[in-house]
Amino acid sequence: MIARVEWKQGRTFEGHSESGRTITIDTTPEHTSGPSPMEAVLIALCACTSVDVVGILEKKREPLTGLTVSASAEQPAQPPRVFTRIHLTYRIHGKVAKKAAEDAVSLSKNKYCSVSLMLEKAVEINYSIEYAE
């Protein structure tokens, strides 16, 4: 896997992935052009675990109709502003069995989500599951 970042102007950078995709990274306090690098890490975590949970629940033929994963992270005020704790909230839509949802989230966190497994070497990650229906 290959990635690169190019400085555009001021505090704005453009990230390029090997697959040809781009993302604007904005390091200004307002983040008007895109996420900060640390916000992008949280987005990647949410995306990675979402893919796992959807895939697992689909394989179990659970009637999933929607999934939102949100992350809240704690950071110190002074650099380095590494995450010290991350809490993931899984909001599941559909008549998904609670045990199936719990198993899917646990498998993602402990076995499949490479972003989570990598981050857990440095930061505590916990989660909760909410059922919309």
| pLDDT, tens digit (0-9, with 9 covering 90-100), for 99-124 | 999 999 999 999 999 999 999 999 99
Residue 31 pLDDT: 87
SS (H, E, C) 64-97: EEEEEEEEEEECCCCCCCCCCEEEEEEEEEECCC
Residue 5 pLDDT: 97
Distance (Å, whole) CA 72 – CA 67? 17
Q: Give per-residue pLDDT as tens, 36-78.
A: 999 999 999 999 999 999 999 999 999 999 999 999 999 999 9
Q: Give per-residue pLDDT as tens, 81-91.
A: 999 999 999 99
Residue 131 pLDDT: 96
pTM of the model: 0.93
CB 91 within 8 A of CB 67: yes
- How many residues does the structure list for the chain? 133
- Are β-strands 22-26 and 64-74 bridged in parallel, bridged antiparallel, or unpaired? unpaired
Residue 133 pLDDT: 73
Domains of the chain: 1-34 (2.20.25), 37-131 (3.30.300.20)
Distance (Å, whole) CA 102 – CA 120? 19
Distance (Å, whole) CA 84 – CA 81? 9
